[in-house]
Amino acid sequence: MLAHRLATGSCFIIFVVGLLWLDATMGAVPIGSWSLPPGLLLAGAGSILVGLGSLELIRIAATTGIKTNATLTIGTTVCVMLATWLSSSLPEMFDATIPLTIIVIAFVASLLQFSRGRCVEHAFASTAVVMLSAIYLGVLSGFLLLIGADISIWMIGGVALVVKSCDIGAYFTGRAIGRHKLIPWLSPGKTIEGLFGGIVGSMLAALILNLALGSPLAWWWVLIMGGVLAIVGQAGDLTMSLFKRGAGVKDSSTLLPGLGGVMDVIDSLLLAAPVAWWMLRLSLCSEA
């Protein structure tokens, strides 16, 4: 299992680093008098990942008897993610309204779709799945792209490194000295010792990254950011565990050998993305 994780994880890292380098090289893509924000290739790859993630959420919902429309769910989620990313280069009066408008349109479309033929038995739950996917996957992954558009393409990799350092630290610390279960009814494999090991791992990763990049941010603030992202990332992981345990499934899918599904890989990044965006923006504004 560990060998599969390392192999799949290494391939995934190489792929992401390649996209980061290409997008950093391309920068903003001009279209007439307007420009697409940086991160075009990441947005394309993200659309595929988010689409696969939406399918996994649909399958999880289906195991509990909730059926939804795959085309509507995936289309809404991808559009919301892209609209959130594009908002960084839109006029201020439109920057937040477009993704919100897409969510409203999807809500109305869901109500119409799931009440056809006067069959309203599952309209509430089915509509909720579409909205969950749009917000949980679409908006939160859009924040990850916003980090690249508003701050730096490479900072997306930095945030991912800090958050995933918690996952790695928690895994190995838990295996080595984990004795006390963190939340056994939700995620039996997680331990309190593993959580603290993961937080330390994220803080060290953030500090090393800050030194390597020559960032103007104070070391103590970087450590705080690393600790906060670690905790929020673990909360994101537990959020997905909540959905899977409620549906009685272990992994969101078997797409990635040793890692599970797309949601099993990106779950810790989703909740961390908006927190990272806010902390980085506020930090840079205070330094300016």
Which band of pLDDT confidence, cut at 50, 70 and 90, is reported for residue 286? low
**Could you tell me the pTM of the whole model?**
0.92
pLDDT of residue 1: 58
Please state, as a whole number, how many other Cβ atoms lie within 10 Å of the Cβ of residue 102. 21
Residue 175 tokens read as 């295996």
CA distance 102 to 209: 37
Which residues contact residue 104 at a Cβ distance below 8 angstroms, ignoring those fewer than 6 apart?
A: none
CA distance 113 to 126: 9
Which band of pLDDT confidence, cut at 50, 70 and 90, is reported for residue 253? confident
- Mean pLDDT over each residue of the chain, to the nearest integer: 90
Residue 264 tokens read as 């099993």
For the chain, give every domain's residue range: 2-287
pLDDT of residue 145: 96
Q: Could you identify the residue written with the tokens 């945030």?
A: 159
Tell me the per-residue pLDDT of 217-251, one tens digit each, with 9 for 90 and over: 888 999 999 999 999 999 999 999 999 988 888 88
CA distance 278 to 281: 5
| Cα-based angle 201, 204, 209 (whole degrees, multiple of 5) | 120
Q: Could you identify the residue written with the tokens 């899918």?
A: 253
In this prediction, residues 148-155 reach a mean pLDDT of: 92
Tell me the per-residue pLDDT of 166-219, one tens digit each, with 9 for 90 and over: 999 998 999 999 899 999 988 888 999 999 999 999 999 999 999 888 877 888
- The beta strands (E) that lie in the chain are given as 29-31, 34-36, 181-183, 187-191
- For residues 215 and 248, the answer to whether their CB atoms sit within 8 Å is no
